[in-house]
Amino acid sequence: MHKLLPDQLVWMWLRKLLMLVELFALANTSSHTHSCPSVCICASDLLSCVNQSLQQVPAVLPPTVVILDISHNNLCLLHNNWLSALPRLLDLRISHNQIKNLSAKALHNATQLKHLDLSSNHLETIKKHFFEQLVSLEELLLYNNNIMHVDGHAFTHLSSIRKIYLSCNLLTSFSFSSMQNFSHPHLRTLDLSSNNFSLIPTEEVMALPAYLKNGLYLHNNPLTCDCSLYNMFLHWADCGFSSVEDFKEDHTCLVLGKPRAFVKVLNRHNNFENCPLTNGVFSELHLRVLVGKSLIIPCNSSLHEESINYVWISSRYEFIKYPGNNNQSLKIHSNGSLEIKEAQPWNSGIYLCIAINKRLNHNTTYEVNVTVHYPKYEGEPFKTGLTTLLGCVVSLILVLMYLYLTPCCCCNCRKKSATPSPPYECSAKSSILSTTPPATDGPNRKTSSNKHVVFLEPIKEVQNGKIKQVDPNAKNPKVLQPKPDSESISSVFSDLPIMSL
C-alpha cells in the first residue's frame, strides 16, 4: 500500500474539514427555512404575516428577525416571553388587531426594540407594567384605540423614547407632571389630540420643558374656554411652537362647555378680548450679551428650599448639571445660575432652568431667551428720527421764506397799492388771494392786518350797483372784483415791506 506523504495527509484532512463545514451550513440554512411560518413571508431579516387572519402568533419564529409585521389580523392575546426567541428584534408592528389587554410579560425580553406599533386595537388602559422592559424604545404608537386611562408611571422606564402617539382615544386626563423630570430627556413629540379632554392643567403643562411643549399636540379636544387656556396657547403661538403652528385652526374650545358654542382659540376676533395677559408662567426673560463677553443667567424658580437640584438645558439641547459639567463654556453655580463664558453667536437661543425638589417630588421651570450680538460701529448713519426732524426744520424755513420774502413783480407796487382801484374795474391782474377771510355782512367790519394766513376769497360780480355772489358751479365764472372801499387789500403781502428788484 502506497504511503501518503505528510503534506498529502494535511490536505486530505483539510478537505474533510471543509466538507463538514459545508454540511453544517446547509443544515443550519435548512433549519432556518423550516422555521419560517408557512403563512408568513421571510426575506432576510424581515418577517411579514400581514392579513392572514391569525388568531395567535406563530409558535416558531426565525431568530434572525429584525422587523416583525403581524398587523391586520385577529390577535387577541400576546403570550408572556414570546419575544425571547427574537434577540435582534428592532421593529414590531401589531396594529389593526383585537388586542384589549397585555399580559404582565407580553413585551419582556425586547430590550433592543426601538419601534412599537399597537395602533388601531382595542386597548382600554395603559398600565405600568406594559413597557417596563423597553428601555431602548424610541417610538410608541397607541393611537386609534379605546384608551380611557394612562397610568402615571406607564412611560417612566422609557428613557430613550422620542415620540408617543395617543391621539384618537377616549382620554379625559393625563399625568403631565410625570413628564417634568428627566426620565424622558429625548421626548420631542407627545400627541394627545382628538381625545375627550375638557380641562387642561395649564400650570403643569407650562412647567414642561420648552422642547416638549413644542411637540405637545392638544388640538381637537372639547376643551372648555377660559383665560388660562387662551394665554397658554397664545404664548405658544408667539414662541412659534410647531404644536400650534401646524394646527392653528384646530385649536378650539367650548364656551361654557356647550358643544354647539365653540370658538377658535387662536383667532384674534374671538371671545377672549377681556382676558388679562398673565405674567406668571407665561413670562420669558430676554437677555443680550456681546460676543466674547460673559453672561450670568439667574434661575428665578419659586422653590427656595435647601434640597434643590438645578439642571439647565442649553439652546442646543445639552444637559448641564451641578456639579460635574463637561462643557467648559457653560457652568452652573451653587445658587442655580448659569454662566456663559466668552459667549459666541451659537450660544443664542432659549435656555431652560429646572429646579427639582426631590424631598417634595416637585419641580419648576424657567425659560430665558439669550441673544449674542456683535457691537455696533461708531460710524453709524443718522437715525430716522434725526433725519425726519432735520427735514421738518428745512420745510419750515422754506415756508417762512415763501410767506415773508416773496419778491414784488413790478417797480411801483407800493404806489399802486396805496391807490384804491376803481370800484368796478375788471382786472385780470387782481389777485384772488386775501389775507383775511371774506367779509360776511356789515360795511364797518375792518380787516386784521396782522394775520398771515392766506384765504381764497370767493368771486363776486356786480349787478345794478350791488355785489352779488357768483355761483362756483357756473360754466363761465367771472374774475374776482376788488372791494371798492379803502380798507381792501389788493395784494396778499401789502402789509409787508416790498422788495423792489
Specify the CATH number for the domain of residue 322: 2.60.40.10
Residue 240 has pLDDT above 60, yes or no: yes
The C-alpha cell that represents 103 in the structure block = 399580559
Cβ distance 252 to 263 under 8 Å? yes
Identify the domain boundary among 316, 350, 373: 373
Q: Does residue 153 share a domain with residue 230?
A: yes
> What's this model's pTM, rounded to 2 decimal places?
0.58
Residue 438 has pLDDT above 60, yes or no: no
State which of 32-36, 180-184, 266-270, 417-421 shows the largest mean pLDDT: 180-184
Q: Does residue 156 share a domain with residue 247?
A: yes
Q: Does residue 93 share a domain with residue 211?
A: yes
Residue 143 has pLDDT above 50, yes or no: yes
Share of the chain above pLDDT 70, in %: 64
For residue 140, the enclosing domain spans 38-264
In this structure, of 186-195, 198-207, 208-217, 377-386, the range with the lowest mean pLDDT score is 377-386
Q: Which residue has the higher pLDDT, 479 or 138?
A: 138
Q: State the average pLDDT over residues 129-137.
A: 92
Residue 227's φ and ψ, nearest 5 degrees, are -70, -35
Residue 500 has pLDDT above 50, yes or no: no
Alpha-carbon span 246 to 266, nearest angstrom: 12
Between strands 67-69 and 46-48, the pairing is parallel
Share of the chain above pLDDT 90, in %: 27
- Segment 1-35, tens digit of pLDDT: 455 566 666 777 777 777 776 666 554 544 444 57
Going by pLDDT thresholds of 50, 70 and 90, the confidence category of residue 358 is: low
Residue 499 has pLDDT above 50, yes or no: no
Alpha-carbon span 119 to 94, nearest angstrom: 8
Going by pLDDT thresholds of 50, 70 and 90, the confidence category of residue 377 is: low
Going by pLDDT thresholds of 50, 70 and 90, the confidence category of residue 161 is: very high
Q: Does residue 219 share a domain with residue 349?
A: no
Going by pLDDT thresholds of 50, 70 and 90, the confidence category of residue 320 is: confident
Alpha-carbon span 207 to 214, nearest angstrom: 13
pLDDT of residue 101: 92
Q: Does residue 292 share a domain with residue 259?
A: no
Q: Does residue 300 share a domain with residue 246?
A: no
- Segment 263-296, tens digit of pLDDT: 888 875 556 666 765 444 444 567 888 898 888 8
Q: Does residue 339 share a domain with residue 254?
A: no
Does residue 309 form part of some domain? yes
pLDDT of residue 447: 43
Residue 449 has pLDDT above 70, yes or no: no
Does residue 256 form part of some domain? yes
Does residue 138 form part of some domain? yes
Q: What CA–CA distances, in Å, run from 334 to 125, 320, 360?
A: 43, 13, 20
Identify the domain boundary among 201, 230, 264: 264
Q: Does residue 222 share a domain with residue 73?
A: yes
Task: Kindly report the CATH number assigned to the domain that includes residue 66.
Answer: 3.80.10.10
Secondary structure of the chain: what % helix, strand, coil (to 5)?
A: 20, 20, 60
Identify the domain boundary among 234, 264, 294: 264
Q: State the average pLDDT over residues 448-475.
A: 47
Alpha-carbon span 128 to 13, nearest angstrom: 59
Does residue 183 form part of some domain? yes
Q: Does residue 160 share a domain with residue 73?
A: yes
Instruction: Report the domain count for the chain.
Output: 2
Q: What CA–CA distances, in Å, run from 194 to 120, 230, 255, 276, 300?
A: 14, 18, 18, 28, 35
Alpha-carbon span 127 to 119, nearest angstrom: 16
Does residue 273 form part of some domain? no
Does residue 85 form part of some domain? yes
Q: Does residue 191 share a domain with residue 318?
A: no
Q: Does residue 341 share a domain with residue 220?
A: no
369: helix, coil or strand?
A: strand
460: helix, coil or strand?
A: strand
Quote the mean pLDDT of the chain. Answer: 75
- Segment 30-42, tens digit of pLDDT: 444 457 888 899 9
Alpha-carbon span 166 to 221, nearest angstrom: 13
Does residue 325 form part of some domain? yes
Does residue 58 form part of some domain? yes
Q: Does residue 318 share a domain with residue 196?
A: no
- Segment 81-99, tens digit of pLDDT: 899 889 999 999 999 999 9
Closest CA to 201 of 161, 227, 229: 229
Residue 223 has pLDDT above 50, yes or no: yes
